Amino acid sequence: MAKKGYPLGIDVGGSGIKGAPVDLKKGEFTKSRLKIATPQPATPEAVAQVVDEIVDEFEKETGGSPIGVTVPAVVIRGTVLSAANIAPSWINTDAEALIKEHTGRSVTVLNDADAAGIAELHYGAAKGEHGLVILTTLGTGIGSALIHDGRLIPNSELGHLEIDGYDAEDRAASSVKDNEGLSWDEWIERLQRYYETIEALFSPDLIVVGGGVSRDSDKFLPKLRLRAPIVPAELRNKAGIIGAAHRAVDLAS
């Protein structure tokens, strides 16, 4: 089955590492995803071992095809350069080389929000959009993907914009809403400040909002006052896996 298998997408998150083979024609999983708890501490070596387990599990469906792996960090040519919400030992790790060593596969490692942006662009809320699309994920932190005329400008890190003296994700991530016990209205005020700053700096044509809380998008998106349309992501928690698999094939071909 080598080379004819489906590409595999793997999403490395704080609590789980999730993977599934992806049919890129449809933008769908070909088998239910496998989720394994993220090892603690989530060192590069420990995570690479779990990634290898997931690769083994889907060996039959994916054959020798490429794998795409997301991490919640800046990634340049396979090397991780930041660690806002992951173990500091990731910094300067050549994650592509490490995972390739473990799995023997062709590997692409990319930022988690960039992967989600790619997935929404091809199969979801930003499908067919021209101009500038900014996807943000609201979760433990805030991730972002900048896409212009269908091309990703990677590692935008708009969750770390400094706004009113704060790192934006420390005020407006959905984890902050939970941790500080903010009401929807209190959190919406912070989101308003965040998205109006994004809009002032980038003038996007469309803003897409992902992350688990986008399930409740009707509670907050309609209350934001912005020029650009702001819509919920459509692929939910599948976006990272699908976008990673898409990118892996794009870069391997």
Q: Which residues bind ligand BGC (CB under 6 A)?
A: 72-74, 82, 84-85, 111-113, 137, 139, 141, 143, 157, 159, 169
d(CA 47, CA 43): 6
Q: Give the residue with the Cβ less far from ligand BGC, 47 or 65.
A: 47
**Distance of closest approach, residue 84 Cβ to ligand BGC, in angstroms:** 3
Q: Say if residues 241 and 19 touch (Cβ distance below 8 Å).
A: yes
Q: Give the residue with the Cβ less far from ligand BGC, 21 or 117.
A: 117
**Distance of closest approach, residue 237 Cβ to ligand BGC, in angstroms:** 13
Q: Give the residue with the Cβ less far from ligand BGC, 5 or 191.
A: 191
Q: Give the residue with the Cβ less far from ligand BGC, 61 or 169.
A: 169
**Distance of closest approach, residue 155 Cβ to ligand BGC, in angstroms:** 8
Q: Give the residue with the Cβ less far from ligand BGC, 84 or 163.
A: 84
**Distance of closest approach, residue 220 Cβ to ligand BGC, in angstroms:** 18
Angstrom CA distances, 104 to 147, 150, 216, stand at: 31, 31, 40
Closest CA to 58 of 102, 10, 16: 10
Please give the structure tokens belonging to residue 29.
């999983």
Q: Name, in order, each residue with C-beta under 8 angstroms of 103's C-beta and a sequence gap of 6 or more.
A: 51, 52, 55, 67
Closest CA to 201 of 134, 125, 123, 253: 134
**Distance of closest approach, residue 113 Cβ to ligand BGC, in angstroms:** 4
Q: How far is CA 246 from the centre of its chain?
A: 13
Rounded to 10°, the helix 239-252/112-123 angle is 90
d(CA 123, CA 136): 16
Q: Give the residue with the Cβ less far from ligand BGC, 135 or 221.
A: 135
**Distance of closest approach, residue 68 Cβ to ligand BGC, in angstroms:** 15
